[in-house]
Amino acid sequence: MTVKEIILGVKNRPGELSRIIGHLYENDVKVPAFWVGTENKKATLRFIASDPEAAILVLTGLGFRVKTMDVVAARVPDHPGGLNAILKLLHSANINILHIYSCLETRDPILILEVDNTEEAVKVLKNNWITLYDERVYNF
């Protein structure tokens, strides 16, 4: 049970993120979760889109080289230490977290996790009653 993350390199300059997100919104593609990492004049944008295929079409039309990756969308348990419950489960299974960020505008906290062993992470989290999301996360 995974979701499609979209990854692209962007220029690290004022307004670039707004330009990209604006084009997606103009094409009815929402972005419920995103992460940006910068280094010098380059940046990497990772995000979940309400319609991954449409997002890819928009971005390639703008000249971006787009990659996708299967990532885990996990609901954080609603109790003190809920985040650490997920982190401890992955640690105990020797699964490394490569990227982590949260969804915006969701009633329940949902983490997007890129890990070094996605299949095992899904199994471990499901076996420990962590709610995982599939394509439903695209419409939050």
Q: How many CA atoms lie within 13 A of 43 on its CB side?
A: 16
Biggest alpha carbon–alpha carbon distance for the chain? 45
Q: Name the band, by pLDDT with cuts 50, 70 and 90, for residue 78.
A: confident
Domain 72-139 in CATH 1.25.40.320: no
For the segment 101-126, the average pLDDT, to the nearest whole number, is 93
- Ranges for all domains in the chain classified under CATH 3.30.2130.10: 3-69
CB atoms closer than 10 angstroms to residue 47: 22
Q: What is the pTM of this model?
A: 0.91
Q: What is the secondary structure of 1-23 as a DSSP string?
A: --EEEEEEEEE-STTHHHHHHHH
Consecutive H or E run containing 100: strand 97-102
Q: Name the band, by pLDDT with cuts 50, 70 and 90, for residue 135.
A: confident
pLDDT of residue 15: 94
- Residue 129 or 39, more confident: 129
What is the four-CA torsion angle of 84, 90, 93, 96, rounded to 10 degrees? -130
pLDDT, one tens digit per residue, over 17-59 is 999 999 999 999 999 999 999 988 899 999 999 999 999 999 9
pLDDT of residue 59: 98
CA distance 140 to 133: 11
Classify domain 3-69 at the CATH topology level.
VC0802-like (3.30.2130)
- Ranges for all domains in the chain classified under CATH 3.30.70.260: 72-139
CA distance 73 to 70: 10
